[in-house]
Amino acid sequence: MTSKIFPTAQDAENAFYEALERADLEGMMAVWAEDDDIVCVHPGGARLTGQDQVRESWARIFSAAMRARVHITSQVAISGMMIAVHSVHENFTVEGDSRPRPAVLATNVYLRTAAGWRMIVHHGSPAPGEPEKPSPRGGAPKILH
Looking at per-residue pLDDT, the higher value among 39 and 115 belongs to: 39
Kindly tell me if the per-residue pLDDT of 85 is higher than 60.
yes
**Within a domain: residue 135?**
no
The answer as to whether 142 is a domain residue is no
The DSSP string of 32-81 is B-SSTT-EEE-TT--EEEHHHHHHHHHHHHHHSS--EEEEEEEEEEEE-S
Top-confidence residue, 129 or 93: 93
pLDDT band at 98; cut points 50, 70, 90 = confident
In a domain, 137, yes or no: no
Of 100 and 42, the one with more pLDDT = 42
pLDDT at 123: 98
- Average pLDDT of span 48-72: 91
Residue 94 counted as domain residue: yes
In a domain, 44, yes or no: yes
- In sequence order, the β-bridge partners of residue 110 are 84, 119
Task: Lowest mean pLDDT of 14-18, 43-47, 121-125, 130-134, name the range.
Answer: 130-134
User: Structural domain tally of the chain?
Assistant: 1
- Domain membership of residue 133 (yes or no) is no
Q: Report the SS3 class of residue 11.
A: helix
Contact between residue 87 and residue 107 where contact means Cβ atoms under 8 Å apart: yes
User: Could you tell me the pTM of the whole model?
Assistant: 0.84
Which residue range is the domain that position 114 belongs to? 10-126
Q: Is residue 60 part of a domain?
A: yes
Residue 57 has pLDDT above 50, yes or no: yes
Q: CATH code at 31?
A: 3.10.450.50
CA distance 142 to 81: 44
Residue 82 is assigned to a structural domain of this protein: yes
